[in-house]
């Protein structure tokens, strides 16, 4: 923990740590949902979809990494077990039980939309009291917005392909 770094945060740091750990849980679950989706996805354009899902998986893992570092900086501990991820998650885990491309895409689009809402709220919360977290959350939010659009445009391409066939 950096003592001065923690001291300059102008809000309840323990409350902030809880929220950062919720986001940390969401990122691990999103990572796994994407990673598994990339392995099992089936249907039109599955190769393009799988490579996009894998790219997103790696970016979600990078988000978990950024959040863990910030949690530690602030004197907290990242959630120490997968059971804790499920207990603290905000956006949940939507198991890809149906491997059809459009179903997998729709589940992950929902996940991205939840993440965008969570990070947008967090951004407002830390805007004045904690510019360091603000900067980190802004970086993550920008990528979640990209993710949503990547998936929605793939979904549109699949619709076009299916309509023409």
63 scored as a contact of Fe ion (CB under 5 A): yes
Residues 38, 46: Cα–Cα separation, whole Å: 9
46 scored as a contact of Fe ion (CB under 5 A): no
CB 71 within 8 A of CB 18: no
Cα radius of gyration (the chain): 17
How many degrees, rounded to 5, is the angle at CA 90 between CA 74 and CA 128? 45
Q: Specify the residue, 40 or 116, whose C-beta has the smaller distance to Fe ion.
A: 116
Selected binder of Fe ion within 38, 57, 76, 144 (CB under 5 A): 144
**Could you tell me the smallest distance in angstroms from the CB atom of residue 111 to Fe ion?**
7
Taking CB under 5 A as the binding criterion, the range among 10-18, 85-93, 125-133, 142-150 that sits at the site for Fe ion is: 142-150
Q: Measured between alpha carbons, how far is residue 144 from residues 63, 121, 122 in Å?
A: 10, 14, 14
Place of tokens 């951004």: 123
Binding mask 100-139 for Fe ion (x = CB under 5 A): ----------------------------------------
> Using CB under 5 A as the criterion, which residues of the chain lie in contact with Fe ion when the complex forms?
27, 60, 63, 144, 147
């Amino acid at each position: 923990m950096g003592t001065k770094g923690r001291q300059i945060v102008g809000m309840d740091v323990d409350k902030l740590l809880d929220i950062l750990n919720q986001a940390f849980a969401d990122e691990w679950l999103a990572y796994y949902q994407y990673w598994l989706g990339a392995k099992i996805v089936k249907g039109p354009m599955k190769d393009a979809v799988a490579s996009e899902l894998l790219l997103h998986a790696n970016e979600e893992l990078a988000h978990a990494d950024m959040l863990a570092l910030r949690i530690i900086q602030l004197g907290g501990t990242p959630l120490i077990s997968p059971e804790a991820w499920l207990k603290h998650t905000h956006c949940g885990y939507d198991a890809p039980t149906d491997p059809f491309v459009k179903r997998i895409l729709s589940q992950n689009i929902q996940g991205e939309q939840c993440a965008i809402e969570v990070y947008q709220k967090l951004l407002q919360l830390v805007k004045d009291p904690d510019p360091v977290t603000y900067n980190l959350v802004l970086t993550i939010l920008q990528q979640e917005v990209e993710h949503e659009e990547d998936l929605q445009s793939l979904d549109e391409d699949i619709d076009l392909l299916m309509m023409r066939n």
